[in-house]
Each structure stands twice: as C-alpha cells, then as structure tokens.
Amino acid sequence: MFRCDTVLFPVEFSQRDDAAAPFVLSMAQRYHARIVLLHVLQPPPPIYAGMGSVYPDAFDYDGAMADLRIDLNKFADLQLPKADVECEVELGEPAATIARFACNRGLSLIAMPTHGYGAFRRALLGSVTAKVLHDSTLPVWTAAHAPEPSHRAHPQPRRILCALDLKPESRRTLEAALALANDAGASVEIVHVPSETEPVDTAESQLQQVLVEAARTAQVDVLESPRIAIRPEGEAGEVAEAVRDLALRTRADLVVIGRGAIRTGLGRLFAHSYDIIRESPCPVLSV
C-alpha cells in the first residue's frame, strides 16, 4: 500500500518549482492529499568584526517570513489551483529543516524539485536533495534530474519502471510500485541489473519470487503483472545507465527505487541510488 495523504513540497521560487508543480498537483488530486508548501529561510551570514562574528541585529526575520508566506500563497494560487494547500516558512538550514519538519508533522511524502544544468551539474545532485534523501525515512519524490528533450514524463504516470536490487527491501519497493500502478492505471516494468558474477537464471528466479509475494500483498493478479526485464549486459558501473536507457526506451513517467540501501548501506543500490536519480530522464520515487 502506498500512503500519500500529505505531500511536503519545499519551494525556493525557481523554475524548478514551476516544473515540479504539475506532478505534485497530480499526486495530490489522485490521493485527495493536502500539499504543504515550505520555504526555508536561511539566516544571513555573520558579519565578521575583529576576532568575533555577529549576526546583524537589524534583520527583520518576522517581516521576511510574512512576505514569504504571501509569496507561497501566490505560488499556490498560480501553480496548484483548487488544491488543499498549507503554506509554511521555517528558519534554519534547508535540508535538516525539511527532514525535521516532515518527521514532526507526520507527513507521508516529500517532493523535491531537482535538475541538472550542463555536463558538470548533471554529475552532481543538489546538496539539499542529497541530504534529505539520506536523512529522511519518508518516501522522497525527485523531479527529472537529466531530462531528454524527446522524453516528456506525464504527471499522471502511465508507465512505471521499478528498479530492484533483490535485497530484502525489494519486496517493499515493488509493492509500492504496484500500488502506484493500480492507483494511476499505469503499467509497470521491472528491471534488475545483475553483477558480473550473478547468474542470470538465479536473478530471474529471485525476481519472480519477489513479484509473486508483492503481487499477493498488493492483491494484483500475477498474470496481469509486469514482465521482468533483466539486463545481463549491465556491469557494476552501468546500473544507472541501464536504468536510464530502459526508462527512455519504455518512455517511463516514473522510476521507483528502494531507499533502505541508502540509509543502511545494504544492497547494490547503495552505490547506485544517487546515480540513478542523477541520470533519470523522468521523476524518481525513492521509497
């Protein structure tokens, strides 16, 4: 079961926020969820005076936060029409504040806009997004980081690609993908990139077992479940490229990956999760 009753949407008033808004709105409408817009105001840098450093006393935090709430309401009216929206402004370091806010409020999903600019920026994932992915235990949706002009993801997913590493967390990841597919009326493709020493027959058998167990939990007819796509040519350093290639070929609107590996260090996706997000031509949901 995929729970999505409240979506936290951090906003910094950039074009990336505008691009992500239709996807957030689609999720909220599909699950009748409330959207919480959050802008994190960072304290200005200290003024260095002699051996000490002080923050400017004249900075009007209350006034700035009030103005930002007005801007958030304008953003909501323009980008999230007719949605149930709450606007919040917090003071602090962005990543830590976002993760703490979502945890304290008991929210169900964090939606993070992200985008790669040029070859160098594409190789990086924004520090705020990376920290939220690492620190938060909630599912995190990230916008397409390396979109292709010929590949346009639809806010209402029609094709979902689920990347599995065949570790214990894989069943939970697949269950989330199947639940999303049921809710959105989408098809699902499963991909596993074997290591150089992993027998393809063994991987296929394990995938089938995970699929049967997840389908039973999700109450999905196995005969109507997605086909299994194993990429035997994929090597350890090519996982993100293989996922990206399949996402482009199947015109996926969403990639679903597990995040237990990110937090615990277990599973092959530990080394590749950020790479998959960086290389993805469509949004990624990390559960």
In this prediction the pTM is 0.84
Q: Where does the chain have alpha helices with state H?
A: 15-31, 61-79, 94-105, 118-122, 127-135, 170-184, 200-218, 239-249, 260-264, 273-279
Domain boundaries, the chain: 1-143, 152-287
122-143 per-position pLDDT tens digit: 555 667 888 898 888 899 999 9
Tell me, yes or no, if the two domains 1-143 and 152-287 fold the same way.
yes
- Domain 152-287 sits in CATH 3.40.50.620: yes
Q: Are 182 and 157 in contact (CB under 8 A)?
A: no
- CATH superfamily, domain 1-143, is HUPs (3.40.50.620)
What is the pLDDT, as a whole number, of residue 274?
Answer: 83
Tell me how far apart the alpha carbons of residues 109 and 27 are, in angstroms, rounded to a whole number: 10
pLDDT in tens, 29-39: 999 999 999 99
pLDDT, one tens digit for every residue, the chain (287 residues): 678 999 999 999 999 999 999 999 999 999 999 999 999 998 876 655 555 555 555 678 889 999 999 999 999 999 999 999 999 999 999 999 999 999 999 999 999 988 655 544 555 566 788 889 888 889 999 999 888 888 999 999 999 999 988 777 888 888 899 889 889 989 888 888 776 666 667 767 777 777 777 766 665 544 455 555 555 454 444 788 889 999 999 999 999 998 754 444 333 344 578 889 988 999 999 99
Closest CA to 170 of 228, 254, 90: 228
CA distance 46 to 221: 60
